[in-house]
Structure 1
C-alpha cells in the first residue's frame, strides 16, 4: 500500500513539474502517460479549466450499443457491490451510455461531465481512460495524478478499445471508473474481458439487420430484371437499372416513399407520380429481424412516362423560359391546408379526394386526429362545387342527439344548394348512432347528396378484426383516401404555416423567422395540424408584432420527448427552455442559472428531447 502511495506522489510531482516547465523527469511515469501529457499540452488543453464538449448527434440505436447492452448489464449486476460506473463511448470518444452501481459516484461523475453526450477525447480533456485509449490503441489503467485535468484527479479509470472483429477498426471504448480509494488493478483485466465479449457479439451480429436486408436485396434482384432498391436505416442500395432509370431526385422520392410504406399498415404496394411526371409502381417486402423491421426491399416499375413537349424550330435558339407557378389566394376562412400540397403524400390525398368528390362516390377518409381531414374535404368540395356547401356532423353531437334529428334539421337548406355531408370520427360512434347512419346511407344511395366520413383510428385492420360497430358501415364505401400525418409531409410545412398564420393573425402581416421555421420543421407534431395551430396561436400572443422567433414557440416545440411528460416534468422542461433562451442557447450559462450541473442539464435535454442550439 505504501509503495502505491509513494508512486502516486512521485507521479503527482512529475505532473506538477511538467505543467510548470513543459517537461519533467518521467522515470516514475509510464511512457504511455508521459506521451499523453505531451499530446495534451500540445493540443492546448488547460489542466485547470478545460471541460468536455457536448454532442447530440450520437448513434444510440446502432450496432455497438446493441451488442454492448447485455455485456454492460451483466457487468453491472456482477459489480453491484462496488461503487463504480461503466461507460461506453463511440470511436470519437463521445459517451453513448453510462451505468453506475452507486448514486454517489454518478453525482460525482456528473460534476466532471463524464456523462452521455460529452466528448472525452484527449484533445479536449487530456489524459484519461477513454481518449488516451483511443490515441494509444491499447487497454489502459489511468489513476489519480496520471490524469491531465485537475478535476479528474480523484478518479481511477480502466479503459479498453472495442474493435470490429472483421475490419479491425476501433468502434468505441469500454471504461470502468471509480474513486481512487475504491480502485483495484483488477479493473484493467475486467474491462478487457468485457470488451472482448462485446467484440464477440459484434462478430456474431455483424449487423444482422444489414445482413438480412442485403440478403433479401440480392434475392429479389436475382429474380427481377427491373429496378430494385433496398432501404433501411442509413443503408440504401440500388441495382444498375434503378441507377440508370431514375435521376437522383427521383431515387430520393422513391426511397422516402419506401420508408413510409415500411412503417405503414397494410401491404407495402403503391403507385406514385414522380416530380418528372413518371408514374411508377412500387412493390415492397419488409425485412424483419426479431421484433424490428430492419428495412424494405422494393421493386420499382415505370407505368408511364410524360409525353415529350415539342419545341417550335423558331425557338430552338432562344434561352429557356423560367415558368413561375401562380398559387391561389388563401381563403379567409380556410380550412384549405392541403389542396396546394408540395409533398407526394399531400398531393396524393388531394388528388384522391377530388376524384371521389367529382364522381359523387361516398368517400372514406383515414388519418390521425388533427391531420386536416375535414378541412381538406370542405375546401376541395368548395372548389369543385362553387355554389355548394359542406355540413359537418361530429361524433359527440350525433351520439347525443341522434343522426336522424341532426340530418332532418338540415334537409330544408340542403334542397336549395348542393351539399356534402361530412361525418367526423365515425370510429367514435355508439352502436345506436352507427345504426342510424347506416339507415341514412341507404337513403343517400337513392340520391340524397354527397357524403364523406372520417376515421381517426389508424389501425383499421385491428378494428375489423375486433368488429367495432363502425366497421359495418364500410360496405357502403367504394373509395378511401389516407391523409398522412404531418411528420410524413415535411415538404408541406412552409405552406401550412403560411395558411395557418393567414387565418389566425387577422389583419396582422404575420411571418416566421428562419430559426422558428427550423424548430417547426424538426418537431414531429404528434397532434398534427391542430397542434401546429395551437403553437402558432401561442407564438402570436408572445410576439404581437414582427416575425415569430424560435423562442416564441411553446417549449415542447424545441424537442421531441419520446413519452408523455407529467405536469412536473413539463414544468421542468419549460424552465430549461426559458433558461436556454435567456442564455442565448449557451448551455453552461443556462446550467448555472438553473443551479444544476452541466451534465445534468444535458441529460435532461436528452430526456425532454430539447434541441436548442448553442449561440
Structure 2
C-alpha cells in the first residue's frame, strides 16, 4: 500500500544521515516522489522488461569499462551495473555469489527497471532523476527490502549530444564505504564517456551547459535578435502558431532536437505576440547549479510585461520541477497535481492550467524540451500548446538562407557560396542541426571571401551517419583535404595519399563523400 505524505514526513524525521545530520533534501524529495508513484514501502516488485538491448554505443563502451574494472575487483563484495536512461539494468558483474543471489531476490538484475517509479528511492534511480552522482545508503532507500544495500550511481551523458544515456551503478552491502563506491562509479562513468567520444566519428564534445540567464531591455539584445526570420514554410508556420498562442495567454512548449532552434523560435514568437515586452531567457545549467540558477532569475518572474523562456526543462533534476512550477505559476511547491492536458498542434481542449494556476509572468512563459513526453510531470499539465520544431535535415530550404545570414553577420557583408559548396551544405544531414551549420559557416568564412567546398569542414561533406573511429575520421579528412586542393586531380590526390585511384573511389563511397565523387 502506498505510503502517505504523513508517513514520508514521519520517517524522514526519525532517520538521520550517518554523520548525525538530517537526511539530504534530495532523498526526502525522492521519497515523496516514490510515494506519489505508489511504490510499495515494504518490497520492490519491478516488472521484467525482457532481454535488454545492448548494441548501443553507450552499452558497448560501458560494458567494456565495467569489465576492465571488474577484473581488478573480482574478489570484492560489490556488483557493477550499467543501466539505460529509464533505469533498465543492461548488465551486471560481480564475483560475490552471495551478493548476486541477494540482488536477484530484489530483482536488481538485467532486464528489470530500477528507476524511482518502479523501485522507489535507490542510488541509480536518484542519479537518473536528478542527473548528478548519487549515493543512497541503507535506510535511505524508500523500500525497506533494499535497506541492506548501499548504492552509488553516476549518470552518463552522450559527450556529443548531451543526452542522458544511462548510469553506472555500484551496489554492495550497507556496511561498505560509500565514498569509495562513489569514487569508483565516477571514474567508470568518466571513462565510459571518454570512450564514447573516441568512437563517435571524431566529433567534438558538446560544451558544458552554462545556465545563462538573459534579461532583455532592448530588442537589439534579446534572445533571438539577429536571427533569420525569412525562412521556409515549416519554420514560419511554427512561429505563427506559437505567437498566436502566446498572444492569447497560453503556455507554449517548443519541442525538437537539440540545436534545431527551439528557443529562437519562441523568442521570435514572443516578440511578434508582444512587441514591447521584455524577454527573459533561462538556459538550464549543470544539475548541481540549479538551485543557484533558480534564485538568480526568480526576482524577474512576474514583473509587468516580462515573458519567460525556460530552456531544456527535460534535463533539469527531478527535484527542481516542483520549484520551477511554483516559480512560474505562483503556487506553493507541492500544492498538488494540476489539471489539464497537453494540446497538440491540431488544437484540442485549451487551457492546460486551472483557475488557480495563472502564470506569474505578466507576458506568459514558454519552455523547450526534446519531446512532449520528456516534459517534467509537474510542468506538462500546464502546457496548452506544443509546437514541434523540425530538424534542419527536414528543412532543406532553410539551409542556404541560414548559411548566408550567418556569413553576413560574421563578416559584416554578403559572402558568396559556390554551387558546389551550396550543394554540399544542402546535402549534409546536419546531426547537430543549426548549431552545427553555424559552426561550419563561421569556420569557412574566416578563411575566404568566396566559400567553396574546400573551405567547409570535412564532416559537412560526409553523408554517412555511421560512427567512425579516430583513424577513419583522420583518413576521411585527409581525402577531403587532398581532393579539395585547388587544381587537384584524382591522380594527384591518390599519389599524395599513397593509394590507387580505385582505392580513393572506394573510400569516397565508404565515407559517402558524394560531392567529391560526382
Higher percent of residues as helix? 1
Q: Which has the larger radius of gyration?
A: 1
Q: Which has the higher contact order (CA 8 A, sep 6+)?
A: 2
Normalized against structure 2, the TM-score is what? 0.48
Normalized against structure 1, the TM-score is what? 0.41
